[in-house]
Amino acid sequence: MAKLFRAVIMGPPGSGKGTISERIAQRFGLTRLSSGDFIRENIAANTDAGVLAKTYIERGLLVPDHVMTRLLLPRLEEMTRHSWLMDGFPRTLAQAEALNSTCDLDLVISLNIPYETLKERLSDRWIHPASGRVYNMGFNPPHVQGRDDISGEPLIQHDDDKPEALVARLRHYKDVAKPIIDLYKSKGILHTFSGTETDRIWPYINSLLSTKIPMEGTHRTQRPCTRGY
């Protein structure tokens, strides 16, 4: 069985996690796991967890750790034979510790993007709510302004993408992310990338992953994700 590879991508709001994780998934054939997409699926399916999560998201709050953990870790159990990249989880130290008790991570990508760049990107971000597909008027505009390329449905902007909301979101991210970054740094698996343009950061991420993600045929035992919570 080919060696499995599991990674997490972290960064402040608007840093390009979704954009870069899509590129990684396509380039390396990893399964992209988006905690946000998974929450949206549960909200659309009106599950208990989805209904509960929605009450927090509507207020611009992080979904509580126990709800996120209950949502995601059983999903990871289904992925024991797959290599994956997780976007959006963990977002707190408790989530990182729950993940750590369940899966061995091979690598963590941390994006370090300046505040002004985040502000500019988020002010130009448009989202198709049902799918989570993301556009940017300056970077990757939709074919038809205001419309999702696939469904043709209207695009929206999140209230918390507005500049006045970003300062608080960024401060909160820095507070909750620091212990997670310290944890992964102490484990020797953290790789930080700084810059203002995804297209300039991408070659470095691509180069790193090309050395870390095994080619088909190499073998290593891998502790599968188990119900450690």
Contact range with ligand GTP by CB under 6 A, out of 6-14, 24-32, 186-194, 216-224 = 6-14
Do the annotations mark residue 33 as ligand-binding? no
Check binding of 88 to ligand L45E5XJ5 (CB under 6 A). yes
Q: Quick one: which of 112, 111, 122, 109 has its CA closest to 167?
A: 122
Pattern 17-46, binding to ligand GTP, x per CB under 6 A?
xxx---------------------------
Among 119, 121, 128, 133, the residue binding ligand GTP under the rule CB under 6 A is 121
Kindly determine how many residues on this chain lie close enough to bind ligand L45E5XJ5 according to the rule CB under 6 A.
11
Check binding of 33 to ligand L45E5XJ5 (CB under 6 A). no
Looking only at the bridges linking them, the beta strands covering 84-87 and 6-10 are: parallel
Least distance from ligand GTP to the Cβ atom of residue 13, Å: 4
Q: How many Å apart are CA 145 and CA 4, to the nearest integer? A: 40
Q: For ligand L45E5XJ5, give the closer residue by CB, 169 or 212.
A: 169
Check binding of 139 to ligand GTP (CB under 6 A). yes
Kindly tell me the sign of the dihedral angle through the C-alpha atoms of 205, 21, 89, 79: negative
Do the annotations mark residue 195 as ligand-binding? no
Q: Where would I find the beta strands (DSSP E) of the chain?
A: 6-10, 31-34, 84-87, 107-112, 125-128, 133-136, 190-194
Check binding of 127 to ligand L45E5XJ5 (CB under 6 A). no
Check binding of 129 to ligand L45E5XJ5 (CB under 6 A). no
Residue 25 has phi, psi (to 5 degrees) of -60, -45
Three-state secondary structure string covering 99-143:
HHCCCCCCEEEEEECCHHHHHHHHHCEEEECCCCEEEECCCECCC
Strands in 107-112's sheet, in edge-to-edge order, are 31-34, 84-87, 6-10, 107-112, 190-194
Question: Which residues here bind ligand GTP, judged by CB under 6 A?
Answer: 11, 13-19, 121, 125, 134, 136, 138-140, 197-199
Question: Which residues here bind ligand L45E5XJ5, judged by CB under 6 A?
Answer: 35-36, 39, 57, 62-63, 68, 88-89, 91, 132
